[in-house]
Structure formats: C-alpha cells, structure tokens
C-alpha cells in the first residue's frame, strides 16, 4: 500500500515537472523569467520571455496560454491609460487656453506641451506651441529694436493681415504686426534708437501721412 502511494506520488511530481519543463534549458530559463515577471506584474517583460519560450518550442501549451493571459492584461492596461490620458489632455488644454487668453504665454506653453506629450498627434497644442515660440522669439528680438514706425492700426484681423501683406510686398520686407491694446499695429520697420526711427519717418509718410514712431 505504502509502495503504491509512493509510486503514485512520484508519478504526479514527474508529471508536474514535465508540464513546466520540457528538458530544454533555454526554454526553461525563458519560462522561469516570464513567470517571475508575471508575479511582479512586469507584463511587457513577461510577454517577451513567453514569446521567446514559444519560439523555442512552438507546440508548448503553457507559454501560449500565458501569452493570451498577459495580452489581455496589457490590453486592459492600455484601455485604462487611454481614458486617463484623454481626461488629462482635456484638463491641460483647458488650462492652457485660459492662460493663452490672458497672454501668459510661457505658462500656457508648459500646459500645451504636457497635453502634447499625452497625445502627440493632436494639432491644437502643436499649433499653439508654434505660435507662442514665434511670439516669444519676436519679443526677444524686439528688446534690441524697441522703436517702430507704425503705418496703420486695425481692429479687424483680416484688414491688418491684408495691409501687412501690401506693405511687405511693396515697401518693406521688415514690416510686421504688433499688438497695441486691442489693435494690430502694422510697422514699417523697427529700430535700435529713436534717431534711427525718425530718420526713416519721412519715407514711411510717403506710404501714409499718419505714420508715427512708437516705442514698445
């Protein structure tokens, strides 16, 4: 009786070992690493090692079963992350747009960048970051050229754009649009000193007699 029980126990142990080990050291090592990663919930690593084991022994059921399990877990993680990312993206964009509207461009850029990190293909944060970078670069350049000859100022954006295009095409490639309160001011050129600006004022007044010098 005892001998029969011992034999039965040995058979069960051998069967169990045979299930997990197929006599291939490389396979066994891959399964061991995969199982350890699963236990630690490092699912991507587990998937890599189960895939490796299956490549070594394609007919083995255990790595196939574990791969299905880990893929399901990874899909659920990805689904939850997508929901969370969308929620955070909207929050970053909302905050960024408010800061942009208040002309707090550096802070707005930070929030747009956070949104873009979550959803790299979205156009809105990309466009706003490009706009802010351009404005900040122009503002930095204007520190060295604070004097401007203004040849027009407009409340309507379309009128400002059309007039700027006309000035650039016919009179000055250096013309640009700068904000003066609620108006878009169209400048003829920008200058380092007040004297330089006044020296060019007569040229600008040939475009419009109302041209004036403005310091930003």
What pLDDT sits at residue 9?
A: 47
The mean pLDDT value for 184-191 works out to 93
CA atoms within 13 A on the CB side of 108: 23
Q: Is the pLDDT of residue 213 over 50?
A: yes
Any idea where the domains of the chain sit in the sequence? 13-143, 144-215
Q: What is the pLDDT of residues 17-64, one digit of tens each?
A: 444 455 789 999 999 999 999 999 999 999 999 999 999 999 999 999
Q: What confidence score (pLDDT) does residue 211 get?
A: 95
> Which SS3 state, helix, strand or coil, does residue 8 take?
helix
Q: Average per-residue pLDDT in the chain?
A: 88
Structure-model confidence comparison of residues 12 and 48, the more confident one: 48
Residue 86 pLDDT > 90: yes
Residue 134's pLDDT is 87
One DSSP character per residue, 100-166 reads HHTT-HHHHHHHHHHHHHH-TT-HHHHHHHHHHHHHHHHHHHHTT--EEEEEEEESSHHHHHHHHHH
Name the pLDDT band for 147 (thresholds 50, 70, 90).
Answer: very high
What is residue 142's predicted lDDT score, i.e. its pLDDT? 77
Per-residue pLDDT at 112: 97
CATH of 144-215, one of 3.30.565.10, 3.30.70.1070, 3.40.50.920, 3.30.1490.190: 3.30.70.1070
pLDDT, tens digit, 9 for 90 and up, residues 149-186: 999 999 998 999 999 999 999 999 989 888 888 899 99
Neighbours of 69 (CB within 10 A): 15
- Predicted confidence at residue 22, as pLDDT, reads 56
Domain 13-143 in CATH 2.50.20? The answer is no
pLDDT value for 69? 96
């Amino acid at each position: 009786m005892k001998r029969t029980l011992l034999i039965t126990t040995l058979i069960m142990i051998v069967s169990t070992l045979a299930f997990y080990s197929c006599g291939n050291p490389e396979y066994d090592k891959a399964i061991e690493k995969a199982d350890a990663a699963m236990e630690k919930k490092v699912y991507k690593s587990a998937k890599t090692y189960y895939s490796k084991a299956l490549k070594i022994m394609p007919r083995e059921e255990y790595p196939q079963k574990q791969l299905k399990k880990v893929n399901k877990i990874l899909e659920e993680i990805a689904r939850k992350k997508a929901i969370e990312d969308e929620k955070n993206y909207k929050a970053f964009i909302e905050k960024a747009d408010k800061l942009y509207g208040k002309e707090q461009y550096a802070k707005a850029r930070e929030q747009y960048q956070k949104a873009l990190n979550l959803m790299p293909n979205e156009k809105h944060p990309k466009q706003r970051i490009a706009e802010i970078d351009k404005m900040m670069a122009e503002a930095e350049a204007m520190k060295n050229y604070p004097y401007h000859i203004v040849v027009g100022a407009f409340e309507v954006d379309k009128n400002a754009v059309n007039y700027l295009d006309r000035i650039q095409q016919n009179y000055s490639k250096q013309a640009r649009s700068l904000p003066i309160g609620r108006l878009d001011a169209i400048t003829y050129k920008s200058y380092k000193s007040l004297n330089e600006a006044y020296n060019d004022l007569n040229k600008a007044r040939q475009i419009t007699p109302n041209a004036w010098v403005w310091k930003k």
